[in-house]
Amino acid sequence: MKLLVVFLLVGTMMVLSEGFPEPEPGPEAKPTEGSEPETESADEDENSVVKRAAGCPFDWIGFRNDTERKIGAMKEQLAALANRQNNSEKWIEDLERKVIFSAATDGSGAVGPFNTDTILVYQTVMTNIGDAYNQTTGVFTTSVSGTYYFTFFYHAGREHPATLRLYKNEQLVARSHDHKGGDDGADNGGNAVILQLQKGDRVFVRLLAHTHIWAKNHITTFSGFLIR
């Protein structure tokens, strides 16, 4: 591009110092029939001499016009490249973002049964890269759109059923259930889902009314991560 600008400047300077090209001499009167061919070629030689004498055998205006057009095209290409670079940088920034969390319920025994459906709060945070999981509310709220993997596992049994439901906002997406069982005091259950989330979407687990889970010893967990 710099080279072309230099060419353009040199070209302009030469045009200024040597003057613009004279208009080409109009066509000479056609030689009459029967005139000798030597006359014609002599006329042509004369035209060339006139051109050279005018000092401008080269079409500087055309050259300048062509150069300007090429520079314009290059500017457009540069702008397109800058735009592509911006997009790539944004893409890389997004790739470097990590969202990973894992949390467990905490307490001395069971959580529930409650009279109403209740969001299960997993107070013990093991991993929370990206701070999307809130251990006060039990709600995961993403700031990165993408595809996520979630799991929830629980331990329960005996005198109450255990019903857990995973929600995306207010949409029920997965559930796990265990019946009340007399002698059966040690059941484990859970589920896993892959969800497409937009920035601001909330994911959480509800413990249904009149059901319970065992909270002690990290036996009931909620985890998730951004796949991409």
Ligand X SMILES: *[C@@H]1O[C@H](CO)[C@@H](O)[C@H](O)[C@H]1NC(C)=O
- Binding footprint of ligand X on the chain (CB under 6 A): 61-62, 65, 82-83, 86, 131, 134, 136-137
Give 149's contacts (C-beta < 8 A, 6+ positions apart).
Answer: 192, 193, 194, 224, 225, 227
Smallest gap, in angstroms, from Cβ of residue 43 to ligand X? 25
Cβ proximity to ligand X: between 32 and 136 the closer is: 136
Smallest gap, in angstroms, from Cβ of residue 5 to ligand X? 18
**197 near 148, Cβ under 8 Å?**
yes
Q: Is the peptide bond before 21 cis (omega within 30 degrees of 0)?
A: no
Cβ proximity to ligand X: between 52 and 90 the closer is: 90
Residue with tokens 């929830």: 152
**227 near 148, Cβ under 8 Å?**
yes
Cβ proximity to ligand X: between 39 and 83 the closer is: 83
Cβ proximity to ligand X: between 156 and 197 the closer is: 197
